[in-house]
Amino acid sequence: MSLEDLEASCLQCQRCDLAKERKHVVVSRGQPSARLMVIGEAPGADEDAQGRPFVGRSGRLLDASLTEVGLDQEDDIYICNLIKCRPPGNRRPTPVELKACRPWLDRQILEVNPEVLLILGATASASLLESRTPISRLRGQWTQWKGRFVMPSFHPSYLLRNPSREPGKPRSLFIADLTQVKDALNGVVSGLTPDSSDR
Ligand code: SF4
């Protein structure tokens, strides 16, 4: 299945109850052959209305932060979410919804085949990495998943609630994490060599 076919099929998905109230299925934005895939939690109201991920305030903060470290979101990056339809009231996705939607994400990762995954927020990190470690401890630490570099970090919505740029605060830590991602894409990562044969 090509990425185009995958996205067309995803737009018709009725696998879970989130299909009932959505305005749009929110599949992705960015480049289909990107070396970096950014994975958030789920669409919010703006994303549901427009059918594109990270287009509200969180998305603007994400884009500005990526630009700040020199990552061009139109050239280098494919952006998507763990869950493709908006949970009512922006609640966390349930385990049933996560399980139902996961094959779409797994297929996206296979088709885009990025070298680096940037995972935003506790829910996405816990689900993808199957970890109970708090995001405050996971973030900033390289790990691997199926032969790819993985960098967990804060979700931009959390940064909107914690806007200080002082050193050690979440916003500056987020920039530090993105800088590590940029360095990894430039081949400047030591001590970690993902085995691409796992992909
Ligand atoms: S959230 Fe995922 S599994 Fe549920 S209906 Fe939307 S695309 Fe399908």
Is residue 199, in this structure, part of any structural domain at all? no
Residue 78 neighbours by CB distance under 10 Å: 24
Residue 195 has pLDDT above 80, yes or no: no
Is residue 194, in this structure, part of any structural domain at all? no
Residue 119: closest CA among 82, 146, 84: 82
Is residue 198, in this structure, part of any structural domain at all? no
Q: What is the pLDDT of residue 198?
A: 66
**What are the tens digits of pLDDT across the range 80-109?**
999 999 999 999 999 999 999 999 999 999
Residue 167 has pLDDT above 60, yes or no: yes
Total domain count, the chain: 1
Is residue 196, in this structure, part of any structural domain at all? no
Is residue 12, in this structure, part of any structural domain at all? yes
Residue 14 neighbours by CB distance under 10 Å: 10
**Domain of 153, in residue numbers:** 3-187
Q: What is the pLDDT of residue 197?
A: 60
Ligand 1 nearest-atom number relative to CA 19? 5
CATH number reported for the structural domain that contains residue 150 in this entry: 3.40.470.10
Residue ranges around ligand 1 (CB below 6 Å): 10, 13-16, 18-19, 25, 83-85, 97, 100-101, 104
Closest residue (by CA) to atom 4 of ligand 1?
16
